[in-house]
Amino acid sequence: MSSMTLPAVLGGRPVRNRPYPRPNFIGPSERALVAEVLDSGVLSDYVAHAGPHFNGGWFVHALEDEYCKRFGAAYAVSVNSATSGLHAAVAASLAGLGDEIIVPPYTMSATATAVVMTNATPVFADIRPDTFCLDPDDVRRKISPRTKAIIAVNLFGGPADLQTLRAIADEHRLVLIEDNAQAPGATIAGRSTGTFGDMAVFSLNCHKTVQCGEGGIVTTNNAVLADRLRLVRNHGEVVQSMRDHVPDEIAGLVGYNFRLTELQSAVALAQVRRLDELTDNRITMAATLTNRLRNIEGITPPYVGEGNKHVYYLYAFKIDAARFGLSRGQLRAALDAEGVAVAEGYVRPIYLYPMYERRVAARKRGLGAGIWYPGDGSPVRYERGICPTTEQMHFAELMTTNICRADLTDADARELCDAVEKIVEHRTDVRAALQGRGVS
């Protein structure tokens, strides 16, 4: 038997024998704008004081204007990370001790810690098994008289059920915050993600499609929310001390240094202007993966709703071990041997982190008090079993690959498919070999 068709785990030749290149999407437009900043000598142009520099310099404004134009928002507020943006959005919703905010448990931890940072209580609603985003039915079940807001995450580049979540938020008079860190450019029936929430948070982190190393943007169509976001971004308590009138509800709003520099803004400005360019190849590569993997029994490619657009921050697929003939761990081990990039699951369900699962019930003061507050009889719990679909996806079914990138090609996608097909063809021998090595 040819070593080209024999799986590498059985002694065959791997489909890939070289590491993936480190992503580098910086081009002439980024360099040109950064040079303008350096030539100006103004690397940041903020002052924590009421006046023309409270909201930053020229490139900060240009970046915010570009996001407004791109996503049809009335206001955009840049920040130094999407984590800061989430915190600012939750703070702008005026959440505090005793309030609950519904969040998904299958997302980067900041989605929930942004709630904790305001001393509100995160309440975890389960996800759908197809989109891996919030399940509106479970959101409805988790709403209580204390609920203040919902944070919907557009995970892996695909949209949550934002239309339904918007309707739920409106029905219950809740603030809807979109965590759109992974899905700039995605759409629902032609409408962009990041436009359904009262506020939407975009990431400019180095791993994201549009990036400047670290940074974020919060968009909104509400002038009051935009003002609160800016107060949180830049030591707003100073500015409020200089205003003639401060509404009671925001008198205690605390500002931070969440400011984005002119250098970072210049890079991000060039990048967001290239969003389509940086996204199109992700979609092309994902289509190659889906067209091949959908024909393999036991593998379910990513779900994309009719009329929707997925932008594949990660390509997430599911494995049914009974139908596929190998466990998820065995498939991962066999693909590792082939030299292709895959991972099991995504992030541990957040409510199983020690800060939630092992919270100290007697402690009700200080930062994070909200995660102890339910000790007064609230039904909020943080323990295994509260989000069964999330646990099934994470511990048994979900696999991801990060190869859908602007700098890779269809050849890279075909390598992964070739590897899976080799393994499927020899799955009995692969299973026996891996079991002999203790991989169950």
Query: Residue 249's domain is classified under what CATH number?
Result: 3.40.640.10
Tokens of 52: 């023309």
Among 259, 274, 289, give the residue marking a domain's end: 274
The answer to whether position 114 is within a domain reads yes
Break the chain down into helix, strand, coil percent, rounded to 5: 40, 15, 45
Give yes or no: residues 318 and 218 share one domain: no
Are 323 and 221 members of one domain? no
Question: Terminus-to-terminus CA distance in the chain, angstroms?
Answer: 26
Print the domain residue range for 296. 275-346+392-436
* Domain count within the chain: 2
101 and 176 assigned to the same domain: yes
Question: What phi-psi label fits residue 216: left (phi over 0), alpha (psi between -120 and 50 degrees) or beta?
Answer: beta
CATH number of the domain to which 424 belongs:
3.90.1150.10
Residue 385 lies in a domain: no
Residue 436, Cβ density class (10 Å: 0-12 exposed, 13-18 middle, ≥19 buried): exposed
Contact assessment for residue 179 and residue 158, using Cβ atoms and an 8 Å cutoff: no
Question: For residue 276, which of 178, 195, 186 has the smallest C-alpha distance?
Answer: 186
Residue 336: both structure tokens together: 């590792």
Name which of 283, 282, 318 is nearest 297 in CA terms.
318
Residues 260 and 293 in one domain: no
Q: Rounded CA gap, 53 and 229, in Å? A: 16
181 and 292 share one domain: no
What does the pLDDT read at residue 1?
39
Q: Where are the beta strands (DSSP E) in 146-263?
A: 147-153, 175-179, 187-188, 191-192, 199-203, 216-220
Amino acid at 306: E
Structural domain includes residue 214? yes
Asked if the structure places residue 219 within a domain, the reply is yes
257: tokens are 């240094």
Q: What is the pLDDT, as a whole number, of residue 370?
A: 84
Question: With contact defined as beta carbons under 8 Å apart, do 78 and 211 qualify?
Answer: no
The answer to whether 208 is a known catalytic residue is: yes
* Residue 230 and residue 309 in one domain: no
Farthest-apart Cα atoms in the chain, separation: 83
d(CA 119, CA 33): 40
Would you say residue 82 lies in a domain?
A: yes
Strand partners for 78 = 217
**Whether residue 428 is found in the same domain as residue 336:** yes
Q: Which residues, given as ranges, of the chain have pLDDT below 70?
A: 1-4, 360-364, 373-377
**What angle (nearest 5°) sits at the alpha carbon of residue 256, between those of residues 252 and 258?**
140
Amino acid at 335: L
Q: Which of 274, 302, 328 is the last residue of a domain?
A: 274
The tokens for 137 are 């039915």
Residue 252 confidence (pLDDT): 86
**Pair (199, 280) in one structural domain:** no
How far apart are alpha carbons 122 and 236 in whole angstroms? 25
Domain co-membership, 69 together with 162: yes
Are 241 and 104 contained in the same domain? yes
- Which one of 247, 274, 301 terminates a domain? 274
Confidence (pLDDT) at 405: 96
pLDDT of amino acid 374: 59
Q: Are 106 and 191 contained in the same domain?
A: yes
Check whether residue 266 and residue 280 sit in a common domain. Answer: no
Task: Check 148, 208, 309, 318 and give the catalytic one.
Answer: 208
**Strand ranges inside 34-120, DSSP E:** 75-79, 100-103
Catalogue the E-assigned strands of 66-215: 75-79, 100-103, 121-124, 147-153, 175-179, 187-188, 191-192, 199-203
Q: pLDDT digits over 290-345, tens only?
A: 999 999 999 999 999 999 999 999 999 999 999 999 999 999 999 999 999 999 99
362-to-100, 117, 123, 152, 374 alpha-carbon distances in Å:
19, 19, 19, 31, 11
pLDDT of residue 376: 59
Residue 102, token pair as written in the block: 């519904």
| pLDDT for res 152 | 98
DSSP 310-332: ---SSEEEEE-HHHHSS-HHHHH
257 close to 235: Cβ distance less than 8 angstroms: yes
